[in-house]
Structure 1
Amino acid sequence: MSQHPRNSWLAQTLGRLVLKITGWKVSGVLPVEPRSVIIAAPHTSNWDFVFLIAATSALGVRIHWLGKDSLFNHPLGFIMHWLGGIPVNRSKRTRLVSQIAERFQSQVSLHLVIPPAGTRAHTDRWRSGFYHIAQSAKVPVIFGFLDYPKKLAGISEAMPLSGRLQEDMDRIRAFYADKVGKFPALSSTIRLEEESDVTPTAPPKDPS
């Protein structure tokens, strides 16, 4: 069996069709790494999920995402699974990081999309779950992005985490510095709670 299964032909075709109809372009390539945490940002609209899943599908990436278990407990729940949904019990939030890390260890291939803002409204920090999951599972992070003015969606190359939080977050901030969401005023500040006692510095511009 392939160590890095691609998305289905149907999903790729549908993804390309959605992008073509809406006038969006896609950037990126199929990741070399079979497992990763994909950051989804900026997150300001319900359309973000549509365009990101269309872009990753067009690239051949089979993505997964976390959803409330109640979304899967009805006759159409199989559609959620087909779209890559993974049901989670939010009442057991304290063990969520370890549960997802264990799932990574049991999967040959898993690209998990997480929007660190956690909401479409503006917040002054990102949730740190994506970082701790990637660290615990020993998988890299990939930057999934949407740039509405350019109508460009895609993913970056994988970035292994160094374990030095400030350094890793500075690299993340630099990447997203020029990415603009559908509603820019709702974009959340890229900063983790664990950084609250660190004086932020202006992120360097990405030369690419």
Structure 2
Amino acid sequence: MARIDVVPATTDRFDDIARVLNPTGREQACWCMHWRAPAQEDVTTRGARLRELTAQEPAPGMLAYLGTGEAPGEVAGWLGFSRRSAARSLQRSRVLPVGEPGTWDTTWVFMCVTVRTGFRRQGVAQALLDGGVGYAAAHGATALDAFPVEPPPGRRVPVSAAFVGTVGMYERAGFDRLGPTGATSARLTRWHLRREIAPA
């Protein structure tokens, strides 16, 4: 039976991060850095900047490994997140809610969920979300925000929009739907979902 292990994305696992986020070595890959970017960014430095973040606490995301028995698992997916205070591009958004600045340090944003081809439809994304919720709570988060899409009835989310996740996926992780936003992904509305976390 498959085993899914979810761990923080730390510097020693950066090669695995690259296997998920930039398997072809593109110079201008996103590296899950869009919302963390300064106003004037050099997109070719995103990978280096993400590596710097992996050396800090808290980590910039989680990795999932899929394995069997005692054998080490193979990297299967990534969940990117940050405190709103570190999501500089999101703070300037005109289409997504930015929240109150006084809450930015304790409100975390789940940015993207990416599962590698060959590992999908095995519960990896759900395990990443559950692990991310626990990690954020352990690091002082009191609220978690996400902006996924909802696929049309009977249809799947287009590949170009899959990284934002789906409403149902987040609802299964305990998030509540607050309302639609002005943002879209692959022409699908991005919804604002939130999960409140009681202080430890």
Q: TM-score, normalised by structure 2?
A: 0.29
Higher relative contact order (CA 8 A, sep 6+): 1
Greater share of strand residues, 1 or 2?
Answer: 2
Q: TM-score, normalised by structure 1?
A: 0.28
Greater share of helix residues, 1 or 2?
Answer: 1
